[in-house]
Every structure is written in structure tokens, then in C-alpha cells.
Amino acid sequence: MDKIFAKVREVSTKHFVKMILYSSLVGVVSGIGAVILRWLIAFFHNLFFYGKFSLSYNSNAHFISRFGNYIIIIPVIGMLIVGYITERYAKEAKGGGVSEVIDAMLRNKGRIRPIVSLIEILVSAIGIGSGESVGEEGPIVLIGSSFGSTFGQLLHLEPKDTILLVGAGAAGGLAAILNAPIAGVLFAIELIIPEFSAQSFIPLIISSAIATNIARIFLGAQPSFIVPHYAVISPWEYFLYFILGIVSGFVAIFFTYMHSKTEVLFDRMKMSPYIKPAIGGIVVGILGFLFLKWTGHYYIFGGGYAFISDTLTNQSIPLLVVLALIVAKIIATTFSLGSGGSGGILVPSFYVGAATGGAFGIIVHHFFPTVTALPAAYAIVGMASVTSGTTGAVLTTIVMSYELTRSYEIILPVMLGAVMSSFIATFLYGKTVYTEPLLRKKNVLFNGKRELNLLSMIRVNEAMIKDPIYLHPDDKVKYAKELVTKNKIGAIPVVDRDNHLMGIVRYIDIVKEDDEKKIAGFIEKIDLSIPSYATLLDASHKMEDIGLNVLAVVDKDGHFIGVLPIARLREIYVGKRDELL
């Protein structure tokens, strides 16, 4: 027995060491990918707005293009290029990036095409560089995850190991691009990996640490935002931060709702997918132009780091402008992504949150100047709160707010606001910017709970019993009793001679009946059918709705082809869970 245990430990140790090495390599590539993405964004930004070749670019500083009023068409040109490349070579590169990674986890065991990372790094750089109102964090998550997936496929790793490397790529990419290594790990745990165990921590941490260090070598070690240290002025402020959390929750719902409706709007447009991005580009271009004429700054272009930095450092921005930017940024971002653009929604969430908190802070500080902190403190809390509500990643956003600003003194209000915002958004809307696109897809069902995510990865036709028990209307009660006794089930499906489902016969209804009667008189016409292409999550919901522990599986023509008892559903779930852990 000791030899057996020793052999098991030896195999486990070798596997663990291999995963450490693999995740290290994923971290290296994720870090390099983040550096290249930043350089490419700088290159295209200078090309589009200044007509020059340069890698010098400070995203936290405002800029004015040399092309004057023609800046309206710059986002149009950039997004047309993005639309052409993604539609032609990698449609997976469209959108925010994170939802696409989650989709690959749920439907394809973490497999992502290798070309996606190359296309994603190009189109996101072109889009952001030309002013597309998105962030770079979504693309780098997809880029890192794509490499982790490709690496796992090349080495023919088991699905659970490939999925872990996908998570390592996501953690490394996000950590490197935002200089937030802890948040990168938590992001992968909260949003990417469908099942998590303590053993998953180490590969994620290693990838995140290596990627962050590589990015720091080339991009610098400073936090994303250099802000003064703010503190709670009075205990009464916690009530105000509580209110800010609630307000942020409603803003997050509006952002998520607009994101969904805009995507649906463009999906229904009957025009070439190569042309649709031009609409998003013109909306972004016009908004940037209008704010330039109104305020002297574009404000809308790109992720919006310059505005966030201004807000967090308490720069004087009129309240009306800040309120207008909340709506304008949401419109610009949702049109950028909905029309076929490529980029992240996390940084725009920071932007909208900072604007929400900043506006709230301006108001309360005006009325209660002696017991409230400066508006910038509320901007920090708002940034975390709205992001928590839009993404559903509460712990990630709390930690990320510290790593982005290094402002620990305000962490308690950040925690309060983030939790309240997530509660409001979950309770009243129940969807996030990452899960909403998945909920609209017919071939995947996602609701954010890990055990349900696993069930949504498996089709009914993979789990059903293909030699089912069934009855015909002309069968005798005696035969039905024999089937029930032999198979220990409480109900049996009934099908007609064309193999179409008619209903069920319950044992309790026939146990005292004459054996020679036909079961046609005892059929309960209840719809217990489930399509073979449905997921086990669909099946579990159906069982709950009709109050039965067995379903009849039908094909696309409605023919009865199998049964799915609840015991089989549980068996498959446990097997899938063990496979991924």
C-alpha cells in the first residue's frame, strides 16, 4: 500500500512541476503580449492622430490631434479596418474579450484558435489607437488565454489542465496590462475558471507574477494612477458611501443594459458586417468632437485614462460635464463594441465609475464640506463600485482599486460601495457585461454559478440513456408494473407508434389497477420532453419546473430517442467536476 501511495505522490508531483513550468511560460508570453499591445496602441495612436511613426504615448495625458475637425472620421477609419480583419479572419476577436474566453470554457473545454491571439493584438491596437472607446484589458485577457489554450492543445493536455492554462493566461495578461498582479489572479478565479481548487492558485500566481514583472521592465513599475492619499473624514461619510454604492448599482445596470441592447440592435441590422463598425466609429468621433468644442478635451477616445486620472487627482471639472460624460462614455463604449469593435469594457467601467463617484462627491462636498472628503475620494469608491456592478467580480474590483491607486486609506468605503453596487445589480438585473452576451446565445447557457456553469458545458445527448424504457398506449398495466419494479422508477414515458411522446404513466396511478387494462387510460399528458441539443442545465431547470426526476429526450423532429433520469445528471456532473479539478 505504501508503494502505491508513493507512486501516486510521484505522479502528482511530476504533474504539478509540469504545470508550474507551463504556467511560467504562459506568464512570459502574457507579459510580452501586454508590452507589445501597449507599444502597438502607441504606434497607431500617433499614426492616426499625428500622422507620424512613434512609440511615445502617455495615456494619462490629454492630447489634441493635428488634424483638427477631421478627427471625426479617425475612429471610423480605424473601426472599418478592425471590422474587416475580424470578420475575415477571426470573428472571436470581436467584442470585449472576456466573454469570448468564458464561452470557450463552457462550450469548447478551453480551446481557442491560435490565430485569435495574433488578430486580437492587431485589431485592438488599431481600434484603441484610432479612438475606439474601449480598454486594452479585454484584448490582453483574450490574448493570454488564447496562448494558454494553444499551448495546452499542442501538448495534448487534459481539458482541466488546458483550462487552467487559459486561466493563467487571463491572470497574467490582466496583471501585466494594469500592473495589478493580485487582481489578475482573483479575476481568473472569479470569472474565468469554471471550477476552482486550492491547487489552481499556484499556476495562476506564477503566471501573474512573471507577466507583471516583464511588463514592469518595459513599461515601468508605477501604478496606473498616481493619486494623493485620501481618508475618511468623518464616520458619517460611511452612510454617504453606502448611498454611492446604491447609485453605482443603478448606473452599472444601465451600462449593462445599454451594452446588451446595442449589440442586439446591430445584430438585427441588415447590412454588411464590414460596414457596421463605421456606425460605431462615427458615434465615437462625433462625441469626441463635441466634447473638444465644449471642454477643450476629447474625453471619449480610448479607455479614458486621462479623464480617470483627472478625476482621481481632484482636477476641477464642472459637474455638468462629469454627468454628461457618464452617459456619453456608456454610449461610446456600447456602440464601439456593439458595432463590431474589439476591446475591453473593464477600463470604461472604471471611467463611468470614476465619473459617477466624482459627480456624487462634488454634490455632497458642496453641501457638507466639513465632514466629507474631496470629490476624488468618492471617485475612487465609485470606480470600484460601478465596476463591481458591471462585472460581478466584487473581490477583484476591491483589490484592483488598491493596486491601481495604492490608496489603502479608502479601502473600507471601497469595500462597502463595491458590495452594495453588486448587490443592487444582481438583485434587480441579475446579469453582467460578461454574462449577458452568453445568455443571448442559444448554444450556451450561463448564469454565473460554478456548478451550473459545469452543467451548461454538457449536452443532453452526451448524458442520456440511449436504450430507454417506454410504453405504448396498447401495453397492459401488468407490463407497466413489471417495468417499474424492475427498473425502480416511479414514472414511464409513453410514445405512439410513430415514436412521438404522448406523456407519462405514473406507478402510483396503476398500482391498484387491473393487470389486463391498457395503459392508454392512465396517460398523463405532461410535456417532459427535452431536446437532445439542450444542456444539462436546461434539463435541471425542466425537471424542477415539471416536478419530475426523469425527462424524455427527443430529436429535432420530436422523435423519442432516450431518457435522462436525475441520477444520470448527477453522475455526469460529478464526473465533469472531477475532470476539471
Q: In a 3-state reduction of DSSP, which class is residue 131?
A: coil
- pLDDT at position 11: 43
2-219 with 237-439: one CATH topology?
yes
Mean pLDDT per block of 10 residues along the chain (581 residues) reads: 45 76 93 94 95 89 91 94 86 70 64 76 91 88 85 80 87 93 90 70 92 94 84 90 97 94 89 88 96 94 92 92 97 92 89 97 93 93 96 92 88 95 92 77 47 62 77 84 76 81 81 82 81 78 75 81 77 61 45
CATH H-level, domain 237-439: superfamily: Clc chloride channel (1.10.3080.10)
Instruction: Please give the CATH architecture assigned to the domain spanning 458-580.
Output: Roll (3.10)
Domain boundaries, the chain: 2-219, 237-439, 458-580
- pLDDT at position 348: 94
448 Cβ partners below 8 Å, 6+ apart?
392, 432, 435
What is d(CA 124, CA 298) in angstroms, rounded to the nearest whole number? 20
A 10 A CB-CB count for 443 gives 12
- pLDDT at position 442: 45
A 10 A CB-CB count for 16 gives 13
Contact between 299 and 307 (Cβ < 8 Å): yes
A 10 A CB-CB count for 464 gives 23
Q: Which helix (H) or strand (E) holds 146?
A: helix 137-154
- pLDDT at position 526: 79
What is d(CA 187, CA 181) in angstroms, rounded to the nearest whole number? 10
- pLDDT at position 181: 94
- pLDDT at position 194: 65
Phi, psi of 373 (to 5 degrees): -75, 175
Contact between 357 and 379 (Cβ < 8 Å): yes
457 Cβ partners below 8 Å, 6+ apart?
105, 106, 107, 109, 194, 535, 576
Indicate the CATH number of 2-219 among 1.20.120.80, 3.30.465.10, 2.60.40.10, 1.10.3080.10: 1.10.3080.10
What is d(CA 342, CA 576) in angstroms, rounded to the nearest whole number? 32
